[in-house]
Amino acid sequence: MEMNAPIGPTPLDDRPNGLVGQPLDRVDGALKVTGRATYAYEYEGAGATAYGYILEAPIGKGRITALDVRAAERAPGVLLVMTYKNAPRLAAKSDKTVPELQDDVIGFYGQAVALVVADSFELARAAAYLIKAQYARESAPYELKTQLSSTVTPKGSHGPADTRIGDFEAAFAAAPVKVDSVYTTPNQIHAMMEPHATMAEWQGDTLVLHTSNQMLNQGQGVIGATFNMAPDKVRMISRYIGGGFGNKLQVYPDAILSAMAAKMLNRRVKVALTRQQLFHLTSHRSETYQRVRIGTDASGKILAVGHEAYSGNLPNQSFYEGAATQTRTLYAGANRMTAHKLAVLYLPKAASMRAPGEAVGLLALECAMDELAEKLQLDPIELRIRNEPTETPETHIPYSSRNLVPCMKAGAERFGWSRRNPKPGQVRDGRWLVGIGMAAATRSNPLLESHAKVTLNPDGTLVAHMAMTDIGTGTYTIMTQIAAELMGLPMDKVSVLMGDTDFPKASGSGGSFGANSAGSALYDACMNLRAKLALSVQLDPSDAHFADGQMTGGGQSRTLASLAGPQGIEADGVIHPGEMGKAYSQESYGAHFAEVGVDMDTCEIRLRRMFGVFTAGRILNHKTARSQLIGGMTFGVGAALMEDAVVDPRFGVFVNHDLAEYHVPVDADIVQLDAMFLPEIDDKTSPLKAKGIGEVGICGAGAAVANAVYNACGVRVRDYPLTLDKLLAGVQPT
C-alpha cells in the first residue's frame, strides 16, 4: 500500500480493549533476562572459530612507513596477520563502500592497521601488540573552532542545507527585541551497551554475517559493493542488538575485516571491538558551533529567526549535523534563514547519533528562546504560544497534526510551573540554589519503504517474517501486538521473526521510522491475509471480523485453523511513503520540564526531577513507548551536563575513550524522571496512524536542564556540557 491519502477507519480503531496500545511486557523479555537471546558475538557454528583483534593507528593523519609482523606471525595460536600488504583487494572507497587495509594511508586516529587472527581472542590481542609499525605523521585539523573560516555548504540528506524566506537581515536589524547568541556542543559518543561484533563465514560464494547492525538491507548493499559481489550473496543476521543509538546504522571494520579473514582462512572468524576501540573505529556525533538570532516585536511576536550550524567530518564525507533543521518548522516568523557549514576534520567518521540534528539544534534554539523570554519579561511558555504557527513557516504546507501547545500546558500544570520564580537565583533549599526550566521538543516522522510476509499455519498460529531489527526498543513486542490484533489471535499464537536479510526487506531501526514503517508493512500483510481468508469462503472482506481465533461475518463463523487448510496460507505486505509525507509536515512533539539544584559553593549541578509530555500519534505499546521517552530524556541530561569526547589537538585522539572517563548518566544521576503521552491519532502518517518516538525524548531535554540551571543560579552557559567549572566564574559568592 502507499500513503497517498489519509487512512480511513481501520480494524485498529475504536478498540479500547484491543492489544495495540496496551502496556504489555516484552515478548522477548524472558529470553533476555535468562541469557537465551543470542547476540552477535555469542553465535557459534559447527567446527572451530577463529578470533580477530584489530591493531589501530596511533596517529591522526599520515602514512605507514614500516610494518614488521614477523613476531606476531610466530606468536602462539596465530593463524593470520593481515595488513594492507596481503589483504584481499576490495572496491575503491566511495559513499557506497567501506574497504579496509587497502593502502598505507592513515586518515584518522584508530584506523585499522592490521588484523591478527588466532585461536582465541586473548592470543590475537597479545600478538597484535608484537607488530612493530612506524609512521610518518602529517599535521591536520582536529578541532572545529580552528576551521570555522574554512567550511563548505554540504550536500546531504536533510533536504537543502540552507534556506531563506523573506529578508532576515533587515528584519533582525529592525527588531526592537533580539537575541544573538553562540552555542557550542562537543563531540559525543553513542556508548550503547553492546560493542560492535561480527562472526563471518563463507558458505560457498555466499557471505554470512552474524553481526550487530540496525539496518540490515542497507548493510547488505554496502558489503556487497565493497566485496564486488551481488547483494543477494550477502546474508546479514542480527536477531538481537544491545543498543545502537545510530552507531550501528552503518557497516564498520568488524564486519569487513572478519569477512576478509574468513575468506583467506576458509574458516569462520569473529571480530569484536573493545569498548576503547569503538570510540575511534566507529562513528561519533560531531561537535557543533551554532549561532542563533531571533528578533521580535515588543509583544514577543517573532519577526526574524536565523540559525547557522557548523559541524565537521572527514574529507569526502557528506554527512553533516543538521542542527538548524527544526528551526524551519518549530515557530512562526515571516523572515527566516537557516544555514549549515561543514569543515574537514581528521577525526573518526561523524555520522548519525540519536536524533541527529534536533538533539543538538534544540540545545541552542530552546535556550535562545529562554533568553528571549527573559528580555521580553515574558513567561517562556507564553512566548512559545504567541509564536505557534498554523502551517509550516517556510513551505506553507499544513501539519498532519500538531499538539505542542497542549503538551506545554499539560506539562506546566502537572509539573507545577506556576511556582517558578522567573528571577534567577532566588530559590534556595539549604545549600542548593534551585531552578526550573522548560523546552519544546520536536522530531520529524519519516515513513520508509518496508515489506513483510505473514503465514497462517494449519494449527491456527501465525508467523510473520521481516528483515526488521530490534535494538532494545520493543519491536518484537509491538509487531506481535499488531499481528495478533489484526488477526484476532492471542499473543502467544503469533511469532514474529526478524533480523535476517533472508526475510522480506524492511526499513530497519533508526531515525524514529522503524516501528511505523515495519509495522505498516505488517499491517498491510495482515489485511491482505484477512482478505484472502474472507474471499476463500465468498465473504466480502469488509464484512469479516477477526476475534478469538475465528473469522465471523455473513452468518458464518470459521476458525482460522480451518481456513488455513493443510498447507497453510500466506500473504505479503508493503508500505510506500506516497504523497502524504510531501503534502503534510509530520512531526512528533513534546514539552520538557526540569528542576535542578546548583550547589552554592561548588556549583555542582544535580537534577532533582524531570517530566515530559508528548504526542506521537497512536501509541503502539504504552510501556515500551514510555521507556523510549525516559531513555531519551536521560540521554538529554547527559548531553546537557556531562558528555564530552575530548580531543587531543596534537594527535586527533579522543583521550577519554572508555566509560570510566566518557561520562554518561548513571542511576544516581537520575532521581525523579517521568513521561506521559496525550491522546492523538494521525491519519496522514501511516495505516497505524502512529508517529515515531525513538528520538523525540532527547530533543529539547538538555535545553530544559540548561534553562533550569540558569534559573537556579543566574549563569548562562552556552558551551555544553554545563560542568561546574563553567558556572564557578559567574556565581556570586555566598
In the predicted structure, residue 732 carries a pLDDT above the cut 90: no
Q: Is 104 exposed, middle or buried (0-12, 13-18, 19+ CB in 10 A)?
A: middle
Measure the CA–CA gap between 66 and 63, rounded to whole angstroms: 9
Per-residue pLDDT at 490 exceeds 90: yes
User: Which tops the pLDDT comparison, 155 or 286?
Assistant: 286
For 333, left (φ over 0), alpha (ψ -120 to 50), or beta? left
- Contact between 575 and 515 under an 8 Å Cβ cutoff? The reply is no
CA gap 46, 48 in Å, rounded: 7
**Mean pLDDT value of segment 79-95:** 97
Q: What is the pLDDT of residues 514-561, one digit of tens each?
A: 999 999 999 999 999 999 999 999 999 999 999 999 999 999 999 999
* 650 CB neighbour count, 10 Å cutoff: 10
* Element at 199 (helix H, strand E): strand 197-203
Q: How far apart are CA 321 and CA 358, in angstroms?
A: 9
Contact yes or no for 678/418 (Cβ under 8 A): no
Element (DSSP H or E) covering residue 639: helix 622-641
The label of the residue with cell 546504522 reads 249
For residue 482, give the H/E element and its range: helix 475-487
Kind and range of the H or E element at 409?
A: helix 404-415
Distances in whole angstroms, Cα of residue 374 to Cα of each of 300, 329, 438, 716, 722? 11, 23, 13, 12, 20
| Confidence band for 217, pLDDT divided at 50, 70 and 90 | very high
Distance CA 281, CA 277 (A): 6
Rg (CA), the chain: 27
Give the other-Cβ count within 10 Å of 145's Cβ.
Answer: 12
Structure confidence at residue 158 as a pLDDT band (50, 70, 90): low
pLDDT in tens, 297-354: 999 999 999 999 999 999 999 999 999 999 999 999 999 999 999 999 999 999 999 9
- CA dist 245 and 283 (Å) reads 11
Question: pLDDT confidence of 159, banded at 50, 70, 90?
Answer: confident
Is 80 exceeded by the pLDDT of residue 230?
yes
Mean pLDDT of 227-254: 98
The dihedral built from the CA positions of residue 78, 79, 85 and 91, taken in this order, carries a sign that is: negative
Q: How far is CA 707 from the centre of its chain?
A: 24
Read off the pLDDT of residues 650-703 as tens digits, 9 standing for 90 and up: 999 999 999 999 999 999 999 999 999 999 999 999 999 999 999 999 999 999
User: From residue 497, how far is each of 221, 462, 466 by CA, in Å?
Assistant: 21, 11, 7
Q: Find out whether 381 and 407 touch, Cβ atoms under 8 Å.
A: no
* Residue 47 pLDDT: 83
Mean pLDDT in residue range 592-607: 97
Is 411 in contact with 612 (CB distance < 8 Å)?
yes
Strands 428-429 and 432-444, sheet pairing: antiparallel
What percent of the residues of the chain are helix, what percent strand, and what percent coil, each to the nearest 5?
25, 25, 45
**Is the CA virtual torsion 272, 275, 280, 283 positive or negative?**
positive
Tell me the pLDDT band of 193, cut-offs 50, 70 and 90: very high
At residue 172, the 3 state secondary structure works out as: helix
Q: Which residues pair with 272 in a beta bridge?
A: 197
- Which contiguous run of DSSP H or E holds residue 343? strand 335-344
- Alpha-carbon distance of 357 to 363, in angstroms, equals 10
Please check whether residue 142 is in contact with residue 60, taking contact to mean a CB–CB distance below 8 angstroms.
yes
Q: Is 697 helix (H, G, I), strand (E, B) or coil?
A: coil
Q: Encode pLDDT of 369-411 as tens digits.
A: 999 999 999 999 999 999 999 999 999 999 999 999 999 999 9
pLDDT tens for each residue of 44-82:
988 899 999 999 999 999 999 999 999 999 999 999 999
| Count of helices and strands (H, E) across the chain | 17, 30
CB 228 within 8 A of CB 478: no
- Is residue 257 within 8 Å of 101, Cβ to Cβ? yes
For this structure, is 201 an active site residue?
no
Residue 240 pLDDT more than 90? yes
521/529 Cα distance (integer angstroms) = 12
Q: 59, 41, 42: which is closest to 280 by C-alpha?
A: 59
Distance CA 605, CA 731 (A): 13
pLDDT at 430: 97
Cβ neighbour number for residue 99 with a 10 Å cutoff: 19
Q: Which residue has the cell 531519551?
A: 632
Rounded Cα distance between 184 and 44, Å, is 46
Please, which pLDDT band fits residue 15 given cuts at 50, 70 and 90?
A: confident
Strands (E), 259-301: 268-272, 288-296
In the block, cell 537557516 appears at 338
> What is residue 157's predicted lDDT score, i.e. its pLDDT?
65
- pLDDT for res 733: 64
Nearest CA to 108 among 318, 289, 344, 341?
Answer: 344
Report the SS3 class of residue 56. strand
Residue carrying the nine cell digits 489485511: 527
Q: What are the pLDDT digits (tens) for 410-453?
A: 999 999 999 999 999 999 999 999 999 999 999 999 999 999 99
Active-site annotation holder among 194, 308, 321, 695: 695
Q: Are 188 and 639 in contact (CB under 8 A)?
A: yes
Domains, the chain, in order of start with CATH, read: 29-37+448-576 (3.30.365.10), 40-139+191-281 (3.30.365.10), 288-446+583-728 (3.30.365.10)
Contact 512, 692 (CB under 8 A): yes
pLDDT on residue 731:
82
